[in-house]
Structure 1
Amino acid sequence: MKSELVTPSHLARKAVVYIRQSTPHQVVSNQESLRLQYALRQRARELGWREAAIDVIDADLGLSGASIAQRNGFKELVGRVGLSEVGLILSIDVTRLARNCTDWYPLLDICGLRGCLIADRDGVYDPGTPNGRLLLGLKGSISELELHTIRSRLTAGLLAKAERGELAVMLPIGLMRDPSGVVVKDPDMAVQGRLGLVFQLFLQLRSVAKVMRALNERDLELPRRDRYGDLCWTRATLAAVAAILKNPAYAGAFVYGRTRFRPPKREGALPQKAPRPMEEWRIVVKDRYPAYIDWPIYEKIRSVIRDNRAEYMRIKTRGAPRNGELLLHGIAWCARCGHKMYVRYKGGGEYVCNHLRTQEGQPTCQHIRAAHIDAAVGDAFLTALVPTFLGT
């Protein structure tokens, strides 16, 4: 069936069929929807386009329409419309083209400017006319609202299960679900023993790096899951040890909302996941899983790890003490600029603030002979211990 909106100037350009499904799972399972979208080629022929003048853009299969980020097919379509190469855009419905008005209205603007029609299964529209823009605008708004409604409905159910601690999330190594769905410890005693050793070593050594080195010096590997979910043993790394120590599931707690998305740093990039501080976790249900450590021990471990991070300027943590003859190696900070000082042993030993020089090319902030500082620190330490010894 032809449309009175289609003119020879439109037929002189290309008709583009835009095809998209939101997830790879839909691409595999919703084959009928895929066939209907590819069948729009016939619709273009009925509207007067020759077969050679019909192109199909399906580069966005498996990608969400919530944003144009990563949707190269949609970007190609907009670019071709801007070059006046396209006379008609066909899509099964407007939700295939965009799921938010921020992306939808610029497409309507450029189509109206270049005289490009938009068609779906309900009809053909001219974005350059008031009536056409009104109808397409309403369709776009309804599409955006539909996405919000779907997300809200799914999120409400997910949060309700999470608040009861019943949401089935991926469990760390050492925990598993039995046939009835109840979470139990891995029956492999080697796995249980190695995880317990990691927590024991950290409470003794108080450093993730020291735990890693202690395990590797003893040739003790850590249990991990491979890409298929099967148990495997690998050499200890900083990331692996930290992941075990920081996971609240080992303290018997179900936690939801440990991460958040940060806005992308550049246009077109995807939002990045970032961990939330413990006090900002959305849902915490304690005593939900069999525990390797109790919750107070877990909080102590997290506190030590946080304090070991040398970020005094941002989160006021002192850093971890380092090996060496000087007392404040690794935990001395500059009172002038607030940056960490390092130790230089040449010439008797001194504390040097060299951050601004190395990072910004400025003069060295200050350097102080270590003997006087260490003597004062030692005196203060012994003075603090005197009341304890006098009390005994």
Structure 2
Amino acid sequence: MGTQQVLSNQESLRLQYALRHRAQELGWRDADIEVIDADLGRSGATSTWREGFKDLIARVTLGEVGIILSYEVTRLARNCSDWYPLLDLCGYRRCLIGDRDGVYDPGTANGRLLLGLKGTISEVELHTLRGRLTAGLLSKAERGELVQGLPMGLVRDTHGTVMKHPDREVQERISLVFAEFLDLGSAGKVLRCFRDRGLTLPRLDRFGEVVWRTPTDGMIAGVLKNPAYAGAFVYGRTRSCETTYASGKPVTGRCPMSEWKVIVKDRYPAYIGWAEFERIQAMLRDNHAEYSRNQTRGVPRDGAALLQGSVWCGLCGHKMTVQYKGCSRYVCNFLVRSTG
């Protein structure tokens, strides 16, 4: 269950701890009963971070468990890839499984059939709940009513209405980023322009207060690529990739504009028009394509340098490029590009 459920649904929590009395009614001595509650607040969709479930599996494997009691057997796992191995272990080790409906023996055909059906229904139920939540969320997003975090320069009043930041200097600095980009045609040139003029960009600290920071290429690009500045509510700008982090969380990547799920225009007060925003995105794509063609490693190319694409800067740790001007040399441009 989620953390909010643990805090608010106390009746369910009491029923789970009451299983000790259920075990006593079945004839188990109090000294032989142990409550495993390490997984409170964790979803049963996967066993990756469920230390209590892993501990239970280990004890069943060693033959230390005679019966597993749960408020509902579906609470043990909502994933058949975790559920059926547990049934196999319990059947092999003669360990019973019980809930409020009865006690089952996974070592018998009838017991395994009933537990298998419960496990399958539990997994389907999880997908059904997710589907309902996702459908409701998409419906709200299609109306532009889904509450999202706003970028710097846009705020909500006490009634929830989105408006521009009341500080005129914040408004003018964000507008200047767009004006300079349309004039200069490059995020790097905008960065150098801000640095040369000693200009900073507004940011929000962790307390929600406006602070002024020295701009970086990421900050400039974040302003230029955010459709909220064009007055549009957008949902589905990212998608999960096939790869995952070590924690098991899927890696997310940005989708091209043509694949954004929901776009509701004229939802917020705009700093630029939608046509200008599309023009800026096209310019950024062209600039990025040129950068990728010239500075990623790719296939070996002609040139006297032997270590092209293989040399990394010892100071900042980023890949160095090859420069041919009278001789071959390796140059690190990361700090110039990112911070000017």
TM-score range, shorter chain: 0.7 to 0.9
Contact 2:194 2:200 in 1 (8 A): yes
SS at match of 1:89: strand
Q: Tell me if structure 1 keeps the 8 A contact 2:239–2:252.
A: yes
The 1:354/1:231 distance shift into structure 2, 3 A limit, reads: same
Of 290, 295, 309, which residue of structure 2 is paired with 1:318? 290
1:117 paired residue among 86, 93, 96: 96
Residue 86 (structure 2) aligns with: 107
Q: How does 1:160-309 map to 2 (within 5 A)?
A: 160-265=139-244, 269-309=248-288
Residue in structure 2 matched with residue 83 of structure 1 by the alignment: 62
In structure 2, the CA distance between the partners of 1:214 and 1:55, relative to structure 1 (3 Å rule), is: farther
SS at match of 1:165: coil
Counterpart code for 1:318: E
5 Å matches for 1:150-161? 150-161=129-140
SS in 2 for 1:56: coil
Is it true that 1:38 corresponds to 2:50 in the alignment? no
Give the distance between the partners of 2:65 and 2:191, measured in 1 at CA.
60
By how many angstroms is 1:352 displaced?
A: 4.9
Counterpart of 2:110? 131
Measured in 1, the distance between the counterparts of 2:234 and 2:255 equals 12
Cα separation, 2, equivalents of 1:101 and 1:111: 15
TM superposition shift of 1:131: 1.0
TM-score between both structures, scaled by the size of structure 2: 0.82
- Root-mean-square deviation (Å): 2.9
Say if 1:252 and 1:357 are closer, same or farther in 2 by CA, change over 3 A. Answer: closer
In terms of mean alpha carbon deviation, does 182-191 or 131-140 score higher? 182-191
Aligned pairs for 1:331-350 within 5 A: 331=294, 338=299
Q: Which amino acid aligns with 2:80?
A: C
**Deviation, structure 1 residue 299:** 2.0
Q: Is the 8 A contact 2:245 2:251 kept in 1?
A: no
> 1:176-195: per-residue Cα shift (whole Å, max 9, x none)?
22333332211221211111
Match of 2:308 among 340, 355, 373: 355
Provide the C-alpha distance between the structure 2 equivalents of 1:99 and 1:38, rounded to a whole number of angstroms: 20
Paired-residue identity, %: 57
Cα distance, 1:33–1:212 mapped onto 2, change above 3 Å = farther
Structure 1 equivalent of residue 319 of structure 2: none
Compute the displacement of 1:154 (Å): 1.7
In the TM superposition, residue 297 of structure 1 has moved relative to its aligned partner by 2.0
| Paired residues of 1:183 and 1:290 also in contact (CA < 8 A) | yes
**Using a 3 Å threshold, how does the CA distance of structure 1 residues 72 and 277 change in structure 2: closer, same or farther?**
farther
In the alignment, is the contact (CA less than 8 A) between 2:59 and 2:65 conserved in 1? yes
Structure 1 266/292 Cα, relative in aligned 2: closer, same or farther at 3 Å? closer
| Deviations, residues 117-172 of structure 1 (Å, cap 9, x unaligned) | 11112221111111111111111122122222222222222111211222222211
| Counterparts in 2 of 1:28 and 1:113: CA distance versus 1, 3 Å | same
Verify the 8 A CA contact 1:339 1:353 in the aligned structure 2: no
Taking a change above 3 Å as real, the CA distance of residues 256 and 357 of structure 1, as seen in their structure-2 partners, is closer
CA contact (8 A) 1:340 1:353 kept: no
Q: 1:158 to 1:340 in 2, by over 3 A?
A: farther
CA 369–253 in structure 1, closer or farther in 2 if over 3 Å, else same: closer
Paired positions, count = 317
Distance 2:175 2:236 in 1: 26
Where does structure 2 lack aligned partners over 5 or more consecutive residues? Answer: 313-321, 327-340
Q: Report the secondary structure of 1:59's partner residue.
A: coil
Q: 1:270 to 1:357 in 2, by over 3 A?
A: closer
CA shift digits 1:222-261 (9 cap, x unpaired): 2222334343333323332222221111111111111111
> What is the CA–CA distance in structure 2 between the aligned matches of 1:105 and 1:351, rounded to whole Å?
61
- Runs of 5+ unmatched residues, structure 1: 1-20, 310-316, 321-329, 342-349, 360-366, 372-392
| Other-structure match for 1:58 | 37
Match of 2:7 in 1: 28
CA distance in 2, matches of 1:217, 1:68: 53
Greater Rg, structure 1 or structure 2?
A: 1
Q: In structure 2, the residue corresponding to 1:272 is in which secondary structure?
A: strand
Deviation (angstroms), 1:353? 7.3
Aligned counterpart for 1:92 among listed residues 57, 66, 71: 71
What is the alpha-carbon distance in structure 2 between the residues aligned to residue 168 and residue 219 of structure 1?
35
Q: Give the TM-score, by structure 1 length.
A: 0.72
What secondary structure is seen at the aligned counterpart in 2 of 1:263?
strand
For 1:288, what is the secondary structure of its paired residue? coil
State the AA in 1 paired with 2:191: M
